[in-house]
Structure 1
């Protein structure tokens, strides 16, 4: 008994769960998908009108990609439970003036991406409970004044992507509950000053990508609840004073990509709730000292692609909550006030890339203690103060590539213990004594410098194309000695100056270098020069204290370095060469100066270049000849094989 009762109960439960599915599948048209929840989606070019025999409990009907071009007077009949209707991407071009009288219960109507160019007057008026109306992506050029009459419950109106040029001042009158209005991507050139005055509950107003040239004074005065205002990509050339002052709840404001050359004083006052502000891509020439009001919640600020040469020192002073500051791509911006970033205790990213900065004040970044990313690339920075990054204790990334830097202090990143990403390439690094400390830092922090293989020496000539990180301390030993102003002690008697001649052992042109010679000298002791290539070994000349009167001697045509009987390190570390062949490298070894020369004679250089080109051309010719010979050989072999085959047959 209990077993049969249990089985009967299970069958009843199963039947209750199965009936909705069966009923839905029984009446659902073949081109539609009917869900048990009451949502029906239909698609296909075979649909020419709203399908009949839909499930009785259908509350949402969405038709898309159909060939339904007209909504007739009875198309929506017999669908008393339907609350949401959508017909999209179907080339709809006509709506019967009484089409919605048979479906007055609708809460949402979506007619996006069709071919509607006109709408009948008061066509939506029967929908007194309508909350959402989407007409975006059509070809509407005008809106008749009473088209929206009676939609007292409307919350969302989307007119985006149409061809609207002008709107009457009373078009939105009566939409007192509207909180979202999208007029973007149209061709609106001017808006009446009172057009939004009835929209006191509006929270989002989108007018981007139009052709607005001016904003009328007072146009936003009644929008006290507005949170989002998008005005980017228009042609606005000026702003009325205090035009945004009534927007106390505004959180998001975009004015980018307009034609603003100036902004009135105190324009952005009385907006304490603002979290994002964009004014980039405007031909701004200057900014007033009083521009930004109290904005403690501002998180993102975009000010780039302008004609600014500098900005007020207090520009960011009221943005204590700022996290991201994009202040880049200003090709005329060459100067920044020293206290510009004084009051940004929470800033995490600062972008100053692609400006025209030549110099940075030593204290410019001193208070940016939370910055993790600092972008300074693509500027014209020639040098940086030693303590410029001292306050950046949390910085992880610094980008300095593509500037005019020749050297940096060796301890410039000493306080940046968390630094893990540093880029330095595309700078004309001068690999002389001044870069010694920085080269050592690069060697010790190879993992930090991401582009270390591209951090190349541009000068002097003998270091060109070497990486800065490959420079060893031994190569800078000569930097430790102080070069004297004269080559001999001042207590020596009267000196005379004679031209000092040198010549290389490879028969190169004689080099003249100026030095001072003592009045008397002992016969020079000459050591044979080594025979390696163009290497040249100096000959030491020993001198004795000169008695008056002074006399002079002219050295022989050999390379000489003249010193006193005790060798002076400072003197021996100085290479005295003036006119003559360019030297590639020189070094000291066991008291001798080794010099590698390149010929500077124009005729010799030209001859060597001709020989190089001739050899390259000859090589290419031989390669082509060999390829042609192989081709001919292969062809001949093929012919022989063919003849043999025919003979065999």
Structure 2
């Protein structure tokens, strides 16, 4: 985390700031009045809306936590004055939109808007050029900003799972600093073709797009930094041959797909054999049919990653996930635990270890 080394003390409203309650039937309204704050924590206070005090030096705040409240909007005047804000956490509210003045947050590095009702981002978010971590899980997003890859060039992590995304913008392939892309539990029909530009991508999760995602682009095999790939529970019948080129790949999760290629007898031999099979398939045009058949037979004869086949089914090798199918451990916030049936949302427990 950004402030992990400094380990600052979180500000409590009753200690370091004055929270004035304004009488309004059924609603609460707070005016922040203490100056010279660096970290402000207003999480879990059942706030319905905020009125920033003109006397408050908002420019001194570097982290603002408004999570787990009932906020339906964030005042334009508030974000416009948070000139030195680095972390903004508004997860688990009832936000239907973000203020246009979010573009004034030139130093923002972490934005957490998970567990809201957002259908889109304001175009001005493209002005947050320092943004590194974007968490928009569990919203109603149907699209991402078209120029996200051209403007937010410092993004390292994008988590937009459990939304209504149908496509990813083409510009996302220009995020050369991106390391983690999580787009599971959406309605994705396809992935961008030019994914080879994501030279630092280590984790890619496109699982559980169910009946929508049927193919993967050939360029997915050119993600040379890729370590973990989850394409489970889609309608993919053929893995691109280029996946055989992913030398750093350690985890491949493909269960829940009607896979034809590679065939099941190859799958059971483990990730290493799968990559060999796909590599050979790339050169299939230079091989005779007899050679291709003999090569697959050789895979059956060879040992698996954890042991040899001796008249019984091989044990599942490390790094290759075929059947671990467990419910998601939790949603974006505890207050959303009851909104979704855990039997609908599945994610392998041991897929992405942090």
Cα offset, 1:76, TM superposition: 2.9
5+ residue gaps, structure 1, are 1-36, 43-49, 317-322, 327-338, 345-360, 375-383, 397-649
Which residue, 52, 55, 78 being the options, matches 1:123?
78
Whether the 8 Å CA contact 1:68–1:90 is kept in 2: the answer is: no
Whether the 8 Å CA contact 2:244–2:274 is kept in 1: the answer is: no
CA change 1:62–1:137 in 2 (3 A) is farther
SS of alignment partner, residue 171 of structure 1 = helix
More strand by share: 1
CA change 1:119–1:341 in 2 (3 A) is closer
Are residues 1:185 and 2:142 paired? no
Separation in structure 1 between the aligned mates of residue 228 and residue 237 of structure 2, nearest angstrom: 22
Q: Which residue of structure 1 aligns with residue 28 of structure 2?
A: 69
Q: Which residue of structure 2 aligns with residue 225 of structure 1?
A: 177
Q: Which residue of structure 1 aligns with residue 49 of structure 2?
A: 94
Higher relative contact order (CA 8 A, sep 6+): 2
Cα offset, 1:196, TM superposition: 4.2
Whether the 8 Å CA contact 1:228–1:251 is kept in 2: the answer is: yes
CA change 1:102–1:163 in 2 (3 A) is same
Whether the 8 Å CA contact 1:128–1:150 is kept in 2: the answer is: yes
1:128-527 superposed matches below 5 A: 128-146=83-101, 148-168=102-122, 170-216=123-169, 218-242=170-194, 244-258=195-209, 259-288=211-240, 290-292=241-243, 294-311=245-262, 325=271, 340=274, 342=276, 363-368=298-303, 370-371=305-306
5+ residue gaps, structure 2, are 1-6, 20-25, 279-295, 319-354
Separation in structure 2 between the aligned mates of residue 285 and residue 220 of structure 1, nearest angstrom: 25
1:606-621 superposed matches below 5 A: none
Cα offset, 1:197, TM superposition: 2.5
Whether the 8 Å CA contact 1:186–1:210 is kept in 2: the answer is: yes
Q: Which residue of structure 1 aligns with residue 39 of structure 2?
A: 84
Separation in structure 2 between the aligned mates of residue 122 and residue 387 of structure 1, nearest angstrom: 68
Aligned residue-pair number = 285
Residues 445-475 of structure 1 show CA distances to partners (whole Å, capped at 9, x for unaligned) of xxxxxxxxxxxxxxxxxxxxxxxxxxxxxxx
Separation in structure 1 between the aligned mates of residue 218 and residue 168 of structure 2, nearest angstrom: 17
RMSD: 3.6
Farther off after superposition, 290-299 or 124-133:
290-299
TM-score, normalisation: structure 1: 0.40
SS of alignment partner, residue 181 of structure 1 = strand
Are residues 1:113 and 2:113 paired? no
Cα offset, 1:102, TM superposition: 2.9
Cα offset, 1:70, TM superposition: 2.2
Separation in structure 2 between the aligned mates of residue 283 and residue 183 of structure 1, nearest angstrom: 25
CA change 1:76–1:367 in 2 (3 A) is farther
More helix by share: 2
